[in-house]
Amino acid sequence: MVTDSAPNYKAAGGRLVERYPTIYWSPCAAHCINLILEDVGKVPHVHNLTSNASKITVFVYNHKHILN
């Protein structure tokens, strides 16, 4: 069983594993990676980099002649 890694899902997963020992519980890897990347994005240098990259992307998509 794969679930979100929120505390309520962890608790529910733990209770199910206790009741049904043949069930294996694991947190969702994509959710865990998303949480890690959110924390990395809060680092000032990384935040500045992603902000500038976002501005460039918006500029390019708003000026379609550049894409031609």
Q: Model confidence over 9-57: pLDDT tens digits?
A: 888 888 888 899 888 877 788 888 888 999 999 999 999 999 999 999 8
pTM of the model: 0.52
Side chain identity at residue 18, one-letter code: E
C-alpha 62/C-alpha 36 separation (Å) is 31
SS3 label, residue 52: helix
Q: Where are the domains of the chain?
A: 2-67
